[in-house]
């Protein structure tokens, strides 16, 4: 099974991806993946259907999620794997994020309105939550920007005309919620953290692992994080961060883990979901 590959980081239409869970699973099989985790931002709605869909394909599905957190105003993303699907701690955190995102989105639309750009929230109605990528796409469709990336550079990125930070949720309370739900908490794409103080602080947090293999980053960029994870005896994970057409430079399967890592999470998930809920 040396050719086993599992992508542990991708997004569906239930957050800010452009593929349905069914299409994600089909696509994963088409490119030869044997394992997959759909890690939508701040929601686990995809798993209302994804496991039933996966039964019809030669692939194993691991339940995942990617939570947005904050450390001293810097965004930090945290992957959770193998949590109890009925966990109150997980569902409560998802609900907090849904409210946070709704408030933030409307602040962004108000800021756009002040500079003469009107977007009706009805235009952004989505299968699940909607956020900045959907607003960016609306700006693109209106011809106000030439690309989704430009929408962030001009309007939606940190410090730009229509940026709104939203209510912060801390790294520690996010880790605690994942652990309360029986899951494993993984520091997502540390390569993208901007401040060395944030990186040092994250290395002291009670994570279970780190996403060392990420997107199309090469071995030289990955080695630093692999060494840091090993020094802490953390799990080492990897995934593409595929979003479909919202992030065309992150193809599905561009980063992955092998059989041993996937089996660890998968068997943990199977065990957790056979046990009574305690949180």
**Do the Cβ atoms of 41 and 64 come closer than 8 Å?**
no
pLDDT at 122 over 80: no
Residue 255 within any structural domain of the chain: yes
pLDDT score at 154: 92
How many Å separate Cα 38 from the centre of its chain?
Answer: 8
Shared-domain flag, residues 85 and 152: no
Q: Which residues contact 46 (CB under 8 A, 6 or more apart)?
A: 12, 14, 21, 38, 40, 128
Look at the chain and report how many structural domains it folds into.
2
> Residue 73: inside a domain, yes or no?
yes
Asked if residue 100 is part of any domain, the answer here is: yes
Asked if residue 202 is part of any domain, the answer here is no
**Whether residue 124 is found in the same domain as residue 212:** no
Same domain, residue pair 10 and 82: yes
- Predicted local confidence at residue 1, as pLDDT: 42
Strand partners, 215: none
> How is residue 162 written in tokens?
């229509």
Report the predicted TM-score, pTM, of the whole model to 2 decimal places.
0.89
Domain at 150, CATH number? 1.10.150
Note the pLDDT of residue 134.
Answer: 84
- Domain with 127 in it: 95-156
Same structural domain, 190 and 77: yes
- Does 171 map to a domain? no
Q: Work out the average pLDDT over 243-258.
A: 93
pLDDT mean over 165-188: 95
| Mean pLDDT to the nearest integer, 134-147 | 88
Q: Is residue 161 part of a domain?
A: no
Sign of the CA dihedral with 37 first, then 268, 232, and 33 last: negative
* Length of the chain (residues): 279
Burial classification of residue 146, based on how many CB atoms lie within 10 Å of its CB (0-12 exposed, 13-18 middle, 19 or more buried):
exposed
């Amino acid at each position: 099974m040396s050719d086993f590959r599992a992508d542990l980081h991708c997004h569906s239409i239930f957050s800010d991806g452009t593929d349905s869970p069914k299409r994600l699973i089909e696509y994963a099989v088409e490119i030869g993946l044997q394992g997959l985790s759909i890690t939508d931002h701040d929601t686990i709605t995809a798993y209302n259907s994804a496991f039933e869909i996966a039964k019809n394909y030669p692939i194993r599905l691991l339940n995942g999620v990617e939570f947005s957190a904050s450390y001293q105003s810097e965004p930090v993303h945290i992957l959770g794997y193998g949590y109890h699907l009925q966990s109150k701690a997980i569902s409560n955190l998802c609900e907090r994020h849904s409210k946070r995102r709704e408030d933030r989105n409307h602040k962004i639309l108000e800021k756009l309105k002040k500079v003469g750009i009107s977007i009706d929230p009805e235009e952004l109605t989505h299968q699940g939550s909607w956020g900045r990528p959907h607003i960016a796409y609306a700006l693109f469709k209106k011809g106000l920007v030439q690309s989704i990336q430009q929408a962030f550079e001009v309007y939606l990125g940190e410090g730009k005309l229509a940026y709104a930070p939203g209510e912060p949720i801390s790294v520690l309370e996010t880790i605690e919620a994942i652990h309360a739900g029986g899951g494993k908490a993984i520091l997502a794409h540390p390569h993208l953290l901007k401040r060395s103080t944030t990186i040092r602080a994250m290395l002291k947090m009670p994570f279970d692992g780190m996403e060392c293999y990420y997107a199309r980053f090469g071995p030289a960029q990955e080695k630093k994080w692999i060494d840091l994870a090993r020094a802490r005896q953390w799990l080492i994970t990897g995934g593409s961060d595929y979003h479909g057409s919202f992030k065309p430079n992150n193809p599905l399967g561009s980063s992955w883990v092998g059989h041993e890592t996937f089996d660890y999470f998968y068997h943990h998930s199977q065990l957790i979901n056979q046990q009574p809920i305690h949180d």
